[in-house]
Structure 1
Amino acid sequence: MEKKRVSIRDLAAILGVTPSTISRALNGQGNISEKRREQITKLAKEHGYRPNHIAKSMVANKTFNIGLLLPEFTHNYFNKILAGIESVTYQKGYQLLICTSDELQEKEEKSCLTFLDARVDGILATAGNSSDDLRHFENVLKDGTPLVLLDRICEDLNTSYVVTDDFEGSFEAVQYLIDSGCSNILHIKGPDYISTSFNRKLGYTEALKKNGMEYREEFVLKGDQKAFEKDLNAVLDKHPIDGVFAFSDYYAYDVIQILNHRAVKIPDEISIIGYADEPLAQYISPQLSTVKQPAYEIGKHAAEILFKIIEEKTDEIITKQLKTTLVLRGTTKGT
């Protein structure tokens, strides 16, 4: 026979107090002595009491669920963001409903509908599809559900966000390449449809401009296209490239593989800097110089902002930009 689940009323009957006293004690509320609170907490543990979240949700008019939409989980960067978010949601007593978009419009739209149907108390999202159609996020805001974007900005959405200073991080990386003697620097850019690609390319461009170096369109290659290897080899055949700044560590790794095939000495002949500081940056040889993003802190700050909006019921738009750090390793000179 299935064991009956212990309720607040059962605990109240055992101690001869009202159910509301039990509830206030377990939720840290009300004017209850510490001795009585400890007594109730101990009794609840002894009897295996678990709160009825459905009843709790009805009373509080909350589901105690947060929707989280990420592009994918294959990169350590997004795993760290998740860890930062969970450090806050766990402490607050909330559960995460997690969806991934795989950078697809249809999956983003479906995920947002799933969150709204589940009546989540708020949504954290990284916009990742190639379309300019943001109606699914606009519908979230129209529904009155708090939304905080992280990692990437959608300028057409009037909502809170947490990002890193990709412009400054990229500028610093390219400036280091220039200071270490590089004069023909390639940029391997990211997908055109995300803000991080634009900002990192802008940092590259501005560093060249500040140092009186010409911006050359043929020195900017797309890292996410099938013809990348062919295009990179074509540039290397025609120009004395001595530096590479890549949108990501994975793009930088692809460059290293191609250079190794060409027997190019790194960093003596060509220096390379990636972006994000993924684990592979330290596992390859030589170890990859990169721009470190504070992924855990991005997730943590985004969750804190979301709870501020939820708990204070504020319409305030809160934005936070975190600094990056240049990490120098074996693929650059002077390290």
Structure 2
Amino acid sequence: MKKKRTSITDIANALNVTPSTVSRALNGGGKVSEKKRLEILALAKNLGYRPNPIAKSLLENRTHTIGLIIPEFTHHFYSRMLAGIESVTSKAGYQLLICTSNEKQKQEIKSTHALLDARVDGIIATISKMNDKFEHLQEVMDSGTPLVLVDRFSEEIETPYVISDDFNGAFTAVDFLCQNGCRNILHIKGPENLSTTFNRFMGFKEALRKHKIELNEDLILESSDPNLIENIRSCLKDFQIDGAFTYSDYLAFEIYKVANDLNISIPNQLSVIGYADEPISTYLSPTLSTVNQQPFEMGVTGAQYLLNKINNPEIELEFKNLEAKLVIRESCMKRKLQIQ
């Protein structure tokens, strides 16, 4: 049989005081003697009393829950970001309600409505890569529920966000390749709709421009192309590719596989840089150079921005671009530039 939950009334009856006296003692209110307060606290602990969260939320008009929408759990980047978020929210007394979109717009919309129905105090979200409509996020803000975007953002949504500086992250990576003699650099782009794809591609182009290298459209591949592997193979066979920069570490792995099939040595013939500093980057041989986006710090900052908005709805919108840090490993050969 299920054990009956101890209530304030049970404690009050046991000590022959009113329920309001017990409530004040438990919540640190006044008009209760120190002796009686300690007696009430001791009995409450003895009986295993736990506050009723529903009653508390009705009283405070807060549920002390925060909704989180991320594309997936298995991605190392999002697990680190989640750890950063939770390090802040748990200390502040909030529980997380976590939903995954699986990078699908319909699932993201469904998750958004589920969190609103659960009366969460705020929502942190990463926009799914298949998302090109944002009415559901506008609905969140129109309801008065604070919203913070992390990792990806849209200029259509006027809300706080925390992202990595993808432009400079990509620029630094490709600049390094150029400084070390690479002139024919292959780039594999990310999903078309994402701000991260655009910013990384812009950083890529700016680094080429700095080194007076003409952009070759034949060396720009789309990750969504079903013929991606064959396209990589064609580029490596038909062009003297000496460098590659990819939207993600997993796309860099695809280059590793094709290069191995073609007996192209990394880094002796081909330098490769990925993006995100996933665990796979250290498991590959040679280890993969990449760009670290500081996902833990992104989660921490996003959670802080949300709590700021919950506690002060009138606070000015906060934005942050976190530094993206280049991590050079074994997949890049430092070459000396030839003097003409």
| TM-score range normalised by the length of the shorter chain | over 0.9
Q: Which secondary structure state, in structure 1, belongs to the residue aligned with residue 263 of structure 2? A: coil
Take 2:282 and 2:43, find their aligned partners in 1: how far apart are those partners?
51
Unaligned segments of structure 1, at least 5 residues: none
Cα 1:94/1:218, change in 2 over 3 Å: same
Letter in 2 for 1:158: E
Q: Which secondary structure state, in structure 1, belongs to the residue aligned with residue 114 of structure 2? A: helix
> In the alignment, is residue 323 of structure 1 matched against residue 329 of structure 2?
no
Cα 1:38/1:329, change in 2 over 3 Å: farther
2:245 corresponds to: 245
> In the alignment, is residue 309 of structure 1 matched against residue 309 of structure 2?
yes
Equivalences for 1:1-335 in 2 at 5 Å?
1-14=1-14, 19-20=19-20, 22-23=22-23, 26-27=26-27, 41-314=41-314, 316-334=316-334
C-alpha RMSD over aligned residues: 2.2
Q: Deviations over 1:136-182 (max 9, x none)?
A: 11111111111100000111011110111011111111111111111
Take 1:43 and 1:225, find their aligned partners in 2: how far apart are those partners?
66
Asked whether the equivalents of residues 6 and 50 of structure 1 are also in contact (C-alpha less than 8 Å), the reply is: yes
Q: Deviations over 1:113-152 (max 9, x none)?
A: 1111111111110011424211111111111111100000
Cα 1:41/1:93, change in 2 over 3 Å: farther
Query: Per-residue deviation at 1:3?
Result: 2.3
2:338 corresponds to: none
Take 1:4 and 1:280, find their aligned partners in 2: how far apart are those partners?
50
Q: Deviations over 1:296-324 (max 9, x none)?
A: 11111111111111112225211111111
Query: Per-residue deviation at 1:17?
Result: 6.0
Superposition TM-score, scaled by structure 1 size: 0.93
Cα 1:156/1:37, change in 2 over 3 Å: farther
Percent identity (aligned): 49
Take 1:244 and 1:36, find their aligned partners in 2: how far apart are those partners?
72
Take 1:172 and 1:85, find their aligned partners in 2: how far apart are those partners?
28
Take 2:167 and 2:311, find their aligned partners in 1: how far apart are those partners?
33
Query: Per-residue deviation at 1:49?
Result: 1.6
Q: Which secondary structure state, in structure 2, belongs to the residue aligned with residue 276 of structure 1? A: coil
Cα 1:63/1:181, change in 2 over 3 Å: same
Letter in 1 for 2:84: G
Superposition TM-score, scaled by structure 2 size: 0.92
Letter in 1 for 2:259: L
Cα 1:23/1:259, change in 2 over 3 Å: farther
Q: Which secondary structure state, in structure 2, belongs to the residue aligned with residue 258 of structure 1? A: helix
Asked whether the equivalents of residues 243 and 270 of structure 1 are also in contact (C-alpha less than 8 Å), the reply is: yes
Letter in 2 for 1:124: I
Asked whether the equivalents of residues 108 and 129 of structure 1 are also in contact (C-alpha less than 8 Å), the reply is: no
Q: Deviations over 1:184-210 (max 9, x none)?
A: 111111011100000001110000101
